Amino acid sequence: MLARECDRSARIGRVTLRALLPLVIAAALAAGCSSVDFWKDQFSAPSAPAQGSEPAQPLGQTFEEDVQLARTYTETYWNQKFQAAGTTYRPLQRFVAYSGADGPECGGQPAVPENAFYCPVGHFVAYDERWMRSLYEEMGDGAVYLIIPHEIGHAVQAQLMSDFSLNVERELQADCYAGGALKGLIDSKQLEAESGDEEELLANLAAAGDPTEAWWRSDAHGTPAQRQQFFAKGFNSGVDSC
């Protein structure tokens, strides 16, 4: 899951060109978990045709709209991918907002504050609404379009019965899935994103990375460079490359 010690300063944006990746990674690693103002209202649904003299406003202008769009569009994307492969995507049973320590249990384990997670027992995604809203209000809507696709990526792993020896493998594939799904939504024009924010995305992934290379830990999510690499892999090459 994306919720790590540095997630309060995490931001996302569009992935950069491969040629820029080494320079951006170096800058992101130097920045660590510092607070930088990235991604102000970047993502939105395309505007509907205007009626009359008043221009139509695109969806995705509020926290609630962005959360719903991120969930709905990501699941729609995976439903189409499963159909194309001749199989059936199983939608989430629940999409649960909680506050602090009042979240739903998962297999007897309590939810923790400032987190988002997928639970295979019950096939649901839950997120601390106050925490995610604080990210949204401080830094814009970008984090919503990374955290939610990442968690839904875990739901996809469960349906594909993916097997992993290490937790870090599971988490990095979910980053890859998130990158591929986001790029697919942009390519299909279900989401619009402003250009020029590639470096910010990579800095956000760096901030969410593990502080050490202890890849064997049960809670390992990957180093900053690894998380950037796998998200970029999905974004540039699609989810089939994950």
Report whether 221 contacts 212 (CB < 8 A). Answer: no
> Domain total for the chain?
1
50 in any annotated domain: no
For residue range 139-150, what is the model confidence (pLDDT) as tens digits? 667 778 888 999
For residue range 26-80, what is the model confidence (pLDDT) as tens digits? 333 333 332 222 222 333 344 443 444 444 445 667 899 989 999 999 999 999 9
Task: Quote the domain boundaries for residue 25.
Answer: 7-32+58-241
Contacts 24+ apart (CB under 8 A), 102-111: 103/128
70 in any annotated domain: yes
39 in any annotated domain: no
Question: Count of H helices and E strands in the chain?
Answer: 7, 3
- Longest Cα–Cα distance of the chain, Å, equals 60
- Give the pLDDT confidence score for residue 79 in this predicted structure: 96
51 in any annotated domain: no
If pLDDT is split at 50, 70 and 90, which confidence band does 134 have? Answer: confident
